[in-house]
Chains A and B, each alone.
Chain A
């Protein structure tokens, strides 16, 4: 169990800044996700924590120990950082049995054979692979291999567990159940976790806090609910969940949909050109009156909901209504929209 402190960390590859002034404190036992599109610098950040990349600037602490500091010139190699790590490609060694894979960190620590076997068996049972110790990785499914990797990462009781998109090679159903499994193991062992993913659903479901990154820069750090309901900027709003962006004009404490006199509250100090953001599920639809009139363009039946496209002036607005009747508003009919929980961002 360790706290992780990352202070003013930069990573530059030549002229490219992959990570730009990253600051984060992961508390003891906390589960923090780093979320962002590919190429945003999240994996580079994780690899700097692990010691596979050297930070160009800044300091990284794991527990009390400074593992990387450009100023002091200290750099602890990965094997000296007391971490466990799970990779996207599983990285389970094909030439060793499951038990040998899991027991390897203990073998390095020269733990005696008996204790080792006992610990390995405990870990395998924790990941529900108690019977699989003597098998070779190629005899296992992808999900099982990933659980071997998880057991291997945890067997030496590291203070910190790093996960690099561990579920992205698994199929959708397995991914959901593995989310739960990883989370329950984390709670059971009360271990600090840094989890890198590009899947917002994964990050939202699992994390105590989420770090949203884009183009090497941290956009927002917060509780999943906070990030969803109160995104810091357009990028975060767009990346997390679905959102409509509508050009607007801010005047004092109101923001108007461009070219109309429909307006919403403006809690920001933006004036002039602005972007109004509203999530599709926060819009209600009716045939007889509302804030904004439009024409029904398309409807998609999703089973538990209906996904509408409504043309309002120049904008096509997406509306999702739970449990709606797909035939209630035919294509071409006039409908009225009411917006709730609108957000205001600067134009760009």
Chain B
């Protein structure tokens, strides 16, 4: 008994130390570096950074954009979630899949698509409107504040959609019915009952969007930077790319600001939700209370369909079509389409090396991460050891920290200043993926472990199985799907990761995300599209497998 407690204690200490060293310590170093100026602790660094107009503008742009995207996402998402979750609109199931699918598209691929559609010189959509409306000038310019807000909204509103529709389906419909029999009209019921009860979830979904939009680098770098719309993340990368000590120091101040912004909001959100959880007691009445739309059925179908077209199908179509164009300068006709442009990409040694690198790093991160997640989840769910949830909490902190902040923290911590030097190695990339994505796999595995009631283990022990046998015969078979799902939940985002890779890659460790970013910035739209299609293919296949394994319960 004593030895078992001791071994548990050792495992827990090791995983805590490991996570502390790779998650918390780098962030501490980042914070420390940001406030040390002339060998003393003060805020001169911040003062210096924010006294520059461009940085101050980046901060206000980040906040304004995130606010705008948050509000727009909630306004768009609430009716969508209601239509999909609570009405008899045709095709609900497919719409749900469609509406959350931009969640699995890498944001920078979305940005590339919208640049193709709405850039003022040759954007497909701009040309289309110019032709049918007879305009002399392009009606839209993507390289603006509003263009950036548009793309961010389309790509991050699924965060709000998922949160809000989940809450909507969880709400006891008799709460609304009680208002109806009390004499309230449907509209009055919405205002007096539905909205107040949903408010915490709406706020939570909105804050998630705010944080995601503010932490995003891919979209602002591709859509914002050409038009000089700077945000915190793009400023940080610019500073780091300067390569000087001053540059990195200024970057730390910006990164620390971003970290503070994201984490304080996350904390507020957790607090708000914890405080006002209207999870309601309900008996059999949880049957979904489906509203009959009547004559509004098909108009609603068309509206949601149009949104799905605009947010997912048209951008993806644009990328696929561009990748297949024989000549970029000629119009899109069937004659001008073919796989010719794919040949140089899939035969180029340089490209293949990047793709291969990404696969290897993602497999490494997913495999190590899943193994660690198993430990962390088992500790948190199945043991009664003191401090069992600390490792879990550390992975959550990693996952909620903006990628750019993690990358910068790892750069300054593991370049040899504090012993370990991982700079330009595979391992610094793998570590960054683990810090950012392990929490997803921990969540999934912990959820399924908590479903394995301890009586199932006890029954096996009672039947004469020892503990290892019990693991093999009972626990592992029951949680296997979630372990595989956890693996994919790390593999897929690691495979197409851009932001952290961009700061952490070396000459030998270029990834597909970085390659794609280079192509886009050198205005090689065609090869960028081909690579995007390859990434989308991998993500699609990964999600199909994930869906099959978890029967649709987990997905990116």
| Chain A CB within 8 A of B150 CB | no
Complexed CA–CA distance, A149 and B179 (Å): 11
- Do A91 and B174 contact each other (CB < 8 Å), given the known contacts A83-B181, A156-B183, A165-B283? yes
Q: Is the CB of B183 within 8 A of A85?
A: no
CB distance from B538 to the nearest CB of A (A): 41
Residues of A within 8 A of B196 (CB): 95
Complexed CA–CA distance, A211 and B278 (Å): 36
Q: Is the CB of B182 within 8 A of A104?
A: yes
Sampled A-B contacts (8; CB under 8 Å): A52-B180, A79-B182, A89-B174, A91-B175, A91-B285, A93-B179, A105-B182, A152-B182
| Extra A-B contacts (4), CB below 8 Å, given A52-B289, A93-B193, A95-B278 | A43-B284, A50-B181, A79-B182, A79-B185
| Chain B CB within 8 A of A109 CB | yes
Question: Which residue of chain B has the shortest Cβ distance to A152 in the bound complex?
Answer: B182
CB distance from B33 to the nearest CB of A (A): 46
Residues of B within 8 A of A54 (CB): 292
B: residues with CB less than 8 A from A are 172, 174-175, 177-186, 188, 192-193, 196-197, 278, 280-285, 289, 292
Q: Is the CB of A168 within 8 A of B283?
A: yes
Question: Which residue of chain B has the shortest Cβ distance to A84 in the bound complex?
Answer: B181
| Chain B CB within 8 A of A220 CB | no
Residues of B within 8 A of A94 (CB): 197, 278, 280
Complexed CA–CA distance, A95 and B281 (Å): 14
CB distance from B278 to the nearest CB of A (A): 5
CB distance from B206 to the nearest CB of A (A): 19
Q: Is the CB of B281 within 8 A of A108?
A: no
| Chain B CB within 8 A of A336 CB | no
Residues of A within 8 A of B283 (CB): 88-89, 165, 168-169
Q: Is the CB of A79 within 8 A of B183?
A: yes
Chief secondary structure at chain A's binding surface: loop
Question: Which residue of chain A has the shortest Cβ distance to B279 in the bound complex?
Answer: A94
8 shortest A-B CB distances, which residue pairs? A91-B174, A89-B282, A91-B178, A78-B180, A105-B182, A108-B183, A88-B283, A87-B174
Q: Which listed residue (A77, A92, A109, A162) contacts B180, Cβ 8 A? A: A77
Q: Which listed residue (A81, A85, A109, A142) contacts B178, Cβ 8 A? A: A85
CB distance from A43 to the nearest CB of B (A): 8
Q: Is the CB of A78 within 8 A of B177?
A: yes
Residues of A within 8 A of B285 (CB): 87-89, 91, 164
Residues of A within 8 A of B280 (CB): 89, 94
Most chain B CB atoms below 10 A, which of A38, A50, A91, A153: A91
Q: Is the CB of B182 within 8 A of A108?
A: yes
Q: Which listed residue (A78, A91, A156, A162) contacts B172, Cβ 8 A? A: A91
| Chain B CB within 8 A of A264 CB | no
Q: Is the CB of A85 within 8 A of B181?
A: yes
Residues of A within 8 A of B185 (CB): 77, 79
Q: Is the CB of B181 within 8 A of A104?
A: no
Question: Which residue of chain B has the shortest Cβ distance to A90 in the bound complex?
Answer: B281
- Do A85 and B177 contact each other (CB < 8 Å), given the known contacts A95-B278, A169-B281? yes
Residues of B within 8 A of A165 (CB): 283-284
Complexed CA–CA distance, A153 and B183 (Å): 11
Residues of B within 8 A of A105 (CB): 182-183
Q: Which listed residue (A90, A91, A109, A156) contacts B177, Cβ 8 A? A: A91
Complexed CA–CA distance, A89 and B175 (Å): 9
CB distance from B237 to the nearest CB of A (A): 44
Most chain B CB atoms below 10 A, which of A43, A51, A85, A109: A85
Complexed CA–CA distance, A208 and B180 (Å): 28
A4-42 interface with B by 8 A CB criterion = 38
Question: Which residue of chain A has the shortest Cβ distance to B188 in the bound complex?
Answer: A108
Residues of B within 8 A of A156 (CB): 182-183
Complexed CA–CA distance, A83 and B180 (Å): 10
Complexed CA–CA distance, A50 and B193 (Å): 19
CB distance from B251 to the nearest CB of A (A): 45
Q: Is the CB of B184 within 8 A of A108?
A: yes
A84-115 interface with B by 8 A CB criterion = 84-85, 87-95, 104-105, 108-109
Residues of A within 8 A of B183 (CB): 79, 105, 108-109, 156
CB distance from A276 to the nearest CB of B (A): 36
CB distance from B167 to the nearest CB of A (A): 13
- Do A79 and B180 contact each other (CB < 8 Å), given the known contacts A89-B283, A89-B285? yes
A138-171 interface with B by 8 A CB criterion = 142, 149, 152-153, 156, 162, 164-165, 168-169
Residues of B within 8 A of A83 (CB): 181
Q: Is the CB of A79 within 8 A of B181?
A: yes
Q: Which listed residue (A43, A89, A104, A152) contacts B281, Cβ 8 A? A: A89
CB distance from A116 to the nearest CB of B (A): 13
Complexed CA–CA distance, A108 and B188 (Å): 9
Residues of B within 8 A of A92 (CB): 178
- Do A93 and B178 contact each other (CB < 8 Å), given the known contacts A88-B283, A108-B188? yes
Q: Is the CB of B284 within 8 A of A149?
A: no
Question: Which residue of chain A has the shortest Cβ distance to B182 in the bound complex?
Answer: A105
Residues of B within 8 A of A162 (CB): 181
CB distance from B390 to the nearest CB of A (A): 30
- Do A93 and B177 contact each other (CB < 8 Å), given the known contacts A108-B188, A109-B183, A156-B183? no
Q: Is the CB of B178 within 8 A of A152?
A: yes
Q: Which listed residue (B181, B278, B284) contacts A153, Cβ 8 A? A: B181
Complexed CA–CA distance, A55 and B185 (Å): 20
CB distance from A169 to the nearest CB of B (A): 6
Residues of B within 8 A of A109 (CB): 183
